Structure 1
Amino acid sequence: MSGSIEADLDRPIWVALTTKQAHLGYGEALARRYHPDVAPFAALARETPAAYQTLLQLLLPHEQAVLLSNESTGPIDGLQKTDVGVIHQMIARHRDAGSADDHEVSRLGDADVKDMLDLVQKTKPGPFGKRTREMGNYIGIRERGRLIAMAGERMCVDGYVEISAVCVDEDYRGNGLAGRLVKVLRREIGQRGATPFLHVFSDNISAIGLYERLGFELRRTFHLIRVAHADSLSTSVPKSI
């Protein structure tokens, strides 16, 4: 990919919300967000007080949103802004020459949403709502009908597709299921002529190690920022993205 195209990864939420995934969100020229039941992510055209104020207008009094921040800004009137942590953006630049074991891997659709939400509730892989699966392809592994592992595609920009929601039921961890699913998605994304990328908290050492073994490398870092109305109650964000 050319450097100019890869630059879209410096603002993946904004680019996704203004191009390929515009139908999954709403907003104005300065700020946009996904529909709350799709994802909690939002983005600004530029990190300015005016853009933050526009984003604030897109949030109901009880709502919050999270965004990837490139730079530090001062306090914004009426806005509660919290630095949640440092995010590693990782990318698999090279086509995987190895095989991807898709044995017993199934496609997940509307009929699987309840099982997907149940698995997310148990494993806490990061934000996942009733409509998150509309962001891309999701795959899973079942054991005796029970969904025990899942992974899928989230943000999509020209030439790049994000892998996300990688999770395995606690009873089945240590069997390589997460790696299997990521390999299948990586192969399929590559077959479409795109490059896979992902986001992970910098202190999630085990996940970073897995992704490195799967051929992902650090591209850059962000700060994950939570924003809400200044008078709203602060709530936690899962330590995963």
Structure 2
Amino acid sequence: MNLQNPVYAALTGPHSQLAEFRGNARRYPSAVAPFLALPDRPTEQDWADATALLGPGTTGALMRPALPVPDSLKVDLEIPLVQFVAPASLPAPDPEVVLLGVDDVPEMLALVALTDPGPFRGRTIELGTYLGIRREGELIAMAGTRFALPAHTEISAVCTHPAHQGQGLATRLIRAVAAQIATSGRTPFLHTGASNTTAIALYNKVGFTLTNQMHVTIVQPA
């Protein structure tokens, strides 16, 4: 069930050192990521702990198949996603790709603001390895790893500056990130919006397999 509950698998596994928790409820620090997690079959106490862990006026994002939310939490937004697992043939190192670090975060945040690939915050880079492509010194494309599970690692933040789209940079970065993941013995997987036909076509083209229908549900204490 790890892939159906990836945030919980990460925060009780390889990312446990980052977890803020109350009872069985887990969350990332807000500067790292907005995600909240509960066990596969949450109890009333688990929901109560999640509500207390968020606290008044704070939102959290559940990422898993659709789940009824109790009255203690208000649903702000629901976003349908699809989840894919990579083929064994995906990894391919790329000589133009560079490793991104803390000093690159302002440029990374600017590229994310321009392209909206999903949540990326000031400390998101702590979740894994991020790679980029630069042209004339400018960061024009990037991708990295987010949720680390016992047997899988998520590819995330795949984005290309609008002026450089259509050159295959996203595919190259996905392959390069997959090569990094392969060194850990894990299998790459990723998510995209269920209506993002361009991304879905790309993932199908390079051999990804659809694994789960997911939802991001943004909640806050009622």
When the two structures are superposed, what TM-score results if normalisation uses the length of structure 1? 0.86
From 164, 177, 181, the equivalent of 2:169 is 177
Question: How far 1:69 sits from its partner (Å)?
Answer: 3.7
In structure 2, the residue matched to 1:86 is 80
Please give the alpha-carbon distance, in whole angstroms, between the structure 2 residues aligned to 1:74 and 1:131.
28
RMSD: 1.7
Q: Tell me, which stretches of 5 or more residues in structure 2 are unaligned?
A: none
Contact 1:19 1:157 in 2 (8 A): yes
Q: Which amino acid aligns with 1:25?
A: A
Report the counterpart of residue 10 of structure 1 in structure 2: 4
Corresponding residue number in structure 1 for 2:145: 153
Q: Which amino acid aligns with 1:116?
A: M
Contact kept, 8 Å, 2:47 with 2:70, in 1: the verdict is no
Counting only pairs closer than 5 Å after superposition, residues 108-127 of structure 1 correspond to structure 2 as 108-127=100-119
1:46-85 matches, cutoff 5 A: 46-73=41-68, 75-77=70-72, 79-85=73-79
| 1:100 aligns to 2:92 (yes or no) | yes
Distance in 2, Cα, partners of 1:72 & 1:129: 26
The one of 180, 185, 194 aligned to 1:188? 180
Distance 1:58 1:148, change over 3 A: same
Tell me, yes or no, if the aligned pair for 1:83 and 1:223 is still in contact at 8 Å. Answer: no
Contact 1:83 1:226 in 2 (8 A): yes
Aligned equivalent of 1:43: 37
Measured in 1, the distance between the counterparts of 2:116 and 2:58 equals 20
Partner in structure 2 of residue 25 of structure 1: 19
**Shift, 1:198, TM fit:** 0.4
From the superposition, tell whether residues 36 and 74 of structure 1 become closer, same or farther in structure 2 (CA, over 3 Å): closer
Q: Secondary structure at the match of 1:58?
A: helix
Identity of aligned residues (%): 40
Task: Please give the alpha-carbon distance, in whole angstroms, between the structure 1 residues aligned to 2:77 and 2:177.
Answer: 31
Secondary structure class of the residue paired with 2:54: coil
Q: Residue 28 and residue 75 in structure 1: after superposition, are their counterparts in 2 closer, same or farther (change >3 A)?
A: closer
Give the paired residue count: 221
Amino acid at match of 2:21: G
1:73 maps to a residue whose letter is: P
What is the distance in 2 between the residues matched to 1:74 and 1:156?
A: 26
Q: CA 1:74–1:127 in structure 2 vs 1: closer, same or farther (change >3 Å)?
A: closer
CA drift of 1:182 comes to: 0.2
The verdict on how the C-alpha distance between 1:224 and 1:165 changes in structure 2, with shifts beyond 3 A counting, is same
Contact 1:96–1:187 (8 Å) recurs in 2: no
The answer to whether the Cα contact below 8 Å between 1:95 and 1:190 also exists between their aligned partners in 2 is: no
TM-score (norm 2): 0.93
Q: 1:34 deviation in Å? A: 0.4
Q: Report Cα offsets for 1:146-202 as digits up to 9, x if no partner.
A: 111000000001121100000000110011100110011112222332100001111
